Amino acid sequence: MAATTFLFVPGDRPDRFGKAAASGADVVLVDLEDAVAPADKDAARAAVAEWLAGGGRAMVRINAAGTPWFDADAALVADRGVPVMVPKAATPGVLAGFREVVALVETALGVERAGELAAVPSVTRLAFGSVDLGAELGVAPEDPEPFAYARSRLVVASAAAGLAPPVDGVTTDLADGERLAADVRYARRMGFAGKLCVHPKQIEPVRAGFAPTEAELAWARRVVTAGDSVSTVDGKMVDKPVLARARRILGE
C-alpha cells in the first residue's frame, strides 16, 4: 500500500461519507472508534455497513480489542471484505485475524512490539498515533521530540518487514497551515510516507509535502544519468545505495 493521504470521517455521520469519498484522499477511513460516542457505536456500525453494501469503498477503523464493540466491528469488516485499521495495536495475534490491516501503533507496548506487528502477514502498513501515546507518556502530542524514538521504531520495523514506510499521526490544529506543513516535513525527514488527515483541506498540503521537491528530482536525475558505476555527482560520491535512493525518488 503506497497511499499518502488517509482521511478520517466519523462513522456516525453517513451524510459525510460521500463527501469524504469525493475529497481526493487516497484512503477514506471511516471511524468507529474515537469519533463515535459509546451510545452511538451500534448505530454507526449499521450506517457504515449500509454504505459499504451500497458500493461505498473505505477502510474502517474499528474499536480496539477488549472493548465491547470489537467483535461486532470485526465481523463487519470480515463480512464486507474491506481493509481495517486496528487501533491500540500491540498484539500480533489480534492483527492476524484480519485479511488486510493497517496497525495503528499508539501505546508504549505497541511501540516496543513494532517489529512483531510489522511481521504479521496481514499487516500492510504501520501508522503512528501520537495523541494516545502522548496521553500515556504524559507529553504534548504536538511536540515531536518526545516521539522521535517511537517514530524511528516504526520506520525501522516497516523497512525490516518489507512494508511501505509508515503513516504519521494527525495534526489536530485545523487553522494552522504552517503547523501542518512543519509536521509533514518532520515526518518525511524521519522516514514516513503518509499522514492521517482529519479534514479534507489537509489532503493537498499533505500530498504536496510528501512529494519529492524539484531540487530532489533534479539531483536524482543527475545521479541516475551518472550510471551504475561508482562516480561523483555535485562533488559527492555516488555508489549503489545512493543510486537506489535516487531511483526511489524518481519512482523507478
Does 91 share its domain with 58?
A: yes
Does 231 share its domain with 185?
A: no
Does 248 share its domain with 226?
A: yes
Strand 59-61 relative to strand 236-238, pairing: unpaired
What pLDDT does 69 receive? Answer: 98
Does 132 share its domain with 191?
A: yes
Does 143 share its domain with 234?
A: no
Total structural domains within the chain: 2
For the record, the C-alpha cell of 204 comes out as 493537498
Does 80 share its domain with 172?
A: yes
CATH number at residue 61: 3.20.20.60
Does 168 share its domain with 194?
A: yes
Sole residue written with cell 503506497? 2
What's the pTM value of the predicted model, to 2 decimals? Answer: 0.90
Cα–Cα distances in Å, from 128 out to 73, 108, 136, 206, 242? Answer: 21, 11, 14, 16, 28
Does 223 share its domain with 205?
A: no
CA dist., res. 38 & res. 183, Å (int): 31
pLDDT per residue, tens digit, the chain (252 aa), is 589 999 999 999 999 999 999 999 999 999 999 999 999 999 999 999 999 999 999 999 999 999 999 999 999 999 999 999 999 999 999 999 999 999 999 999 999 999 999 999 999 999 999 999 999 999 999 999 999 999 999 999 999 999 999 999 999 999 999 999 999 999 999 999 999 999 999 999 999 999 888 887 787 888 888 777 767 878 787 778 888 888 888 877
Does 74 share its domain with 190?
A: yes
What pLDDT does 1 receive? Answer: 57
Q: What residues make up the domain containing 36?
A: 5-211
Does 188 share its domain with 241?
A: no
CA dist., res. 123 & res. 104, Å (int): 10
